[in-house]
Amino acid sequence: MSLLVKINQSDNVAIAVQPLSAGSEVEGIHINQDIPQAHKVALADIPKGSPVIRYGVILGYAMNPIKRGDWINEFMLELPTPPSVDDMEFGKNIVTDLPEPPVTTFEGYANPDGGYAGTRNILGISTTVQCVTGVLNVAVKKMKEELLPKYPNVDDIVPINHAYGCGVAINAPEAKVPIRALRNLVKHPNFGGQLMVVGLGCEKFTVQMLLDEADITPENVIILQEQKGFDAMVDALMKMADKKLAILNERKRETLPLSKLCIGMQCGGSDAFSGVTANPSAGYAADMLVKGGATVMFSEVTEVRDGVHYLAERCVSAEVRDKLAAEMRWYDHYLAEGNVDRSANPTPGNKKGGLCNIVEKAMGSIAKSGSSPIVEVLSPAEKPTKHGLIYAATPASDIVCGPCQLASGITLQVFMTGRGTPYGLAAAPVIKVCSRNEMKAMWQDLIDVNAGPIATGEATIQEIGTQLFNKIIAVASGKDQSFAEKYKLHNDLCIFNPAPIT
């Protein structure tokens, strides 16, 4: 087993597979300081101002001379200028020779609108405003205790609680983002076309903004201010839910083509192994899914920004490239308005896991997209119009990216982590992939797929990627559960709102 991992022939750093001790000799290199696992060691002397290279990409410039065998960390590099999004080449790297998937069908729930199929059968209860959350949560607890056992074909009841709806600049230009997200979540594929909406009655985000006019009926909408007290509110919610559950209970799984499946790829709690093991494995599984006809989304603007020119080369048209550039410009401006830039992204945990800066994090993050052509670019929470690999622009924050992808229609998410996180979504199952053997050993009952053996030479990216593909199909088909789903580890639904709060 090699103790150092070098990605590209031009790299002048490698990462440590295990902690390295000062004074030891590792593969011909004298180690000058103790180097933690996943952190970088210099493979050559690097003069002050010279580039530090990993993935064949300049991570930054040495702020002081670095000696061969030195530990390289976040305090030693000056961040490079981000690549320009003007005049990026497109269609230069279109890969069509993708790996063949073991299967091209899954067992899903077909939907009345003919769009993506559900991987779960859920009663989703949407809300117009946070004010109704307390009453709805009490009612949902009662529904799960008294109603759900009557309907064995329904998997769950999920309230779409959120912090939007009032005290917001509802007519601000960027209010379109949270409004679009909530409108799309109402008709999520896992909800089977059944609409159930709870409003208060005086909020800025009205029922008319949430639903199409034809859907605003007493059968679909309850306004709490029109009910005579708490008991009446809960009773009305229970009666409506009972009717919706009876309809959902008739849904049945059927064999469907992968073109009816929409998968999200996300990473969080990343480390320096994420771009070596977990993300490339997810990328291989993504390529298999795309080859089989499925739609795969990847996201996180700040975590692709420094590699955006590589993504542009995979865009199938100038139109797709231009939308990619537009999303990057929008986010650059959004960050600048807050007096920060992309360097605000890496967390203390990312850095402890060996990631020096956002450039290094981005290059590893992009690996989860595989090598498929990018057929479409979406603004936050937009719905896709194409099948294949899609870049869905979202913030990199785990708990904001997830809801954005849900609003865009994913019915299952694959989540890569190096440091570990119990993150989960209520409306769709989340499969966890870890980057290190140590992570799997520590969280045996939280990590679904371990990509760590790639780093130790015990498995290949193709082997783990195929294992992950099979896990995706099994979970999507209801034959398996991820640990996050099994334990009902559901994060709060954080809707991206770049508009002012009043």
pLDDT digits (tens, 9 = 90+) for 214-232: 999 999 999 999 999 999 9
In this structure, is the dihedral angle defined by the CA atoms of residues 438, 442, 443 and 445, taken in order, positive or negative?
A: positive
Calculate the alpha carbon distances from 101 to 110, 151, 284, 291, 466 in Å.
22, 35, 10, 7, 8
- Distance (Å, rounded) from C-alpha 347 to C-alpha 65? 26
In single-letter form, the type of residue at position 73 comes to: N
What is the average pLDDT across 37-60? Answer: 96
pTM: 0.95
What is the average pLDDT across 391-405? Answer: 97
- Distance (Å, rounded) from C-alpha 110 to C-alpha 118? 7
Is residue 165 predicted with pLDDT exceeding 80?
A: yes
Position 151 confidence tier, pLDDT thresholds 50, 70, 90: very high
pLDDT score recorded for residue 375: 98
Is residue 346 predicted with pLDDT exceeding 90?
A: no
**Three-state SS for 157?**
strand
3-state secondary structure 449-493: EECHHHCCCCCCHHHHHHHHHHHHHHHHCCCCCCHHHHCCCCCCC
pLDDT score recorded for residue 98: 98
Cβ atoms < 10 Å from Cβ of 47: 10
Q: Which CATH code, of 2.40.160, 3.30.2010, 3.40.50, 3.30.450, is assigned to 111-248? A: 3.40.50
* Mean pLDDT across the chain: 96
- Distance (Å, rounded) from C-alpha 61 to C-alpha 256? 51
Structural contact between residues 379 and 408, judged by C-beta atoms closer than 8 angstroms: no
Calculate the alpha carbon distances from 172 to 60, 370, 401 in Å.
38, 37, 22
3-state secondary structure 30-80: ECCCCECCCCEEECCCECCCCEEEECCEEEEEECCCECCCCEECHHHEECC
Position 342 confidence tier, pLDDT thresholds 50, 70, 90: confident
Nearest to 198 by CA among 233, 246, 150: 233
111-248 has the same fold as 4-78: no
Q: Is 338 exposed, middle or buried (0-12, 13-18, 19+ CB in 10 A)?
A: exposed
What residue ranges do the domains of the chain occupy? Answer: 4-78, 111-248, 255-461
In this structure, is the dihedral angle defined by the CA atoms of residues 388, 392, 397 and 399, taken in order, positive or negative?
A: negative
Cβ atoms < 10 Å from Cβ of 316: 17
**Three-state SS for 275?**
coil
pLDDT score recorded for residue 43: 97
Helix extents (H) in 103-248 = 133-146, 176-186, 207-210, 230-248
Reply yes or no on domain 4-78 having CATH 3.40.50.720. no
Is residue 407 predicted with pLDDT exceeding 90?
A: yes
Which helix (H) or strand (E) segment is 402 a member of?
helix 398-407
pLDDT digits (tens, 9 = 90+) for 178-211: 999 999 999 999 999 999 999 999 999 999 999 9
- Distance (Å, rounded) from C-alpha 154 to C-alpha 118? 12
- Distance (Å, rounded) from C-alpha 400 to C-alpha 407? 11
pLDDT digits (tens, 9 = 90+) for 413-472: 999 999 999 999 999 999 999 999 999 999 999 999 999 999 999 999 999 999 999 999
Structural contact between residues 417 and 180, judged by C-beta atoms closer than 8 angstroms: no
Which helix (H) or strand (E) segment is 333 a member of?
helix 318-337
What is the average pLDDT across 469-493? Answer: 97
Cβ atoms < 10 Å from Cβ of 37: 18
Is residue 2 predicted with pLDDT exceeding 90?
A: no
What is the average pLDDT across 38-63? Answer: 96
What is the average pLDDT across 102-129? Answer: 97
